[in-house]
């Protein structure tokens, strides 16, 4: 009986807290909206009005600023023309890159056969163990290509340490369901 009353009291307190937090969030949102609107109205009044700084400069400096604005406009026009040409080149070469990216994907996944010029000749293999050769023949594509590539890329080299590399390699080969258990064991 007393336990039920305590539990009901706790539920009431909890409900009151949730309502209070909700009201606070709504109130803060309204205050933020009002503040943003007030700032916007104040800034709208300032747009187009001069601070007086440029007018206080000598005529020779104002002329130089005018010339500088003209030079900047020419620069902006040249940059816009450059960007248009770059976009045109990107559109032109997109089909070529798409074809090469698809080919790369297929080579990595093993869907694309290796041309004879790149095939490993059996005489070049120095292994005496036939089991190793059989294992190599069973491999499809390039295993863990992206993991190894990213771990060896200079940009990610500092971020991905040796232990993280081996962890990612392990995760790649383990069932996704065992990962939370492993992480819980590691970070206890």
pLDDT tens sequence across 166-186: 666 666 655 545 555 555 555
Q: How many Å apart are CA 149 and CA 156, to the nearest integer?
A: 10
> For residue 80, what are the domain limits?
60-114
Instruction: Give yes or no: residues 38 and 66 share one domain.
Output: no
**8 A C-beta contact, residue 65 and residue 54:** yes
- Name residues whose C-beta falls within 8 Å of residue 2's C-beta, 6 or more positions apart in sequence: none
Q: Which two tokens stand for residue 31?
A: 């205050």
pLDDT tens sequence across 25-84: 777 777 788 778 877 777 777 777 777 888 899 999 999 999 999 999 999 999 999 999
Q: How many Å apart are CA 28 and CA 26, to the nearest integer?
A: 6
**8 A C-beta contact, residue 106 and residue 112:** yes
Domains contained in the chain, number:
3
Q: How many Å apart are CA 118 and CA 147, to the nearest integer?
A: 23
Residue 14 lies in a domain: yes
Burial bucket for residue 169 (CB in 10 Å: 0-12, 13-18, 19+)? middle
Residue 138 lies in a domain: no
């Amino acid at each position: 009986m007393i336990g039920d009353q305590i539990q009901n009291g706790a539920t009431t307190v909890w409900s009151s807290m949730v309502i209070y937090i909700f009201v606070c969030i709504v109130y803060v949102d309204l205050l933020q909206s009002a503040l943003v609107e007030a700032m916007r109205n104040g800034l709208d009044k300032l747009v187009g009005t001069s601070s007086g700084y440029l007018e206080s400069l000598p005529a020779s400096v104002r002329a130089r600023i005018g010339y500088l604005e003209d030079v900047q406009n020419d620069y902006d026009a040249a940059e816009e023309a450059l960007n248009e040409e770059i976009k045109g080149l990107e559109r032109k070469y997109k089909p070529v890159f798409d074809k090469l990216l698809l080919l790369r994907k297929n080579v990595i996944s093993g869907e694309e056969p290796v041309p004879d010029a790149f095939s490993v000749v059996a005489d070049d293999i120095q292994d005496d163990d036939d089991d190793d050769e059989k294992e190599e023949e069973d491999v499809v594509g390039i295993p863990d290509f992206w993991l190894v590539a990213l771990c060896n890329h200079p940009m990610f080299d500092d971020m991905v340490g040796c232990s993280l590399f081996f962890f990612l390699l392990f995760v790649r080969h383990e069932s996704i369901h065992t990962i939370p258990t492993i992480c819980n064991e590691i970070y206890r």
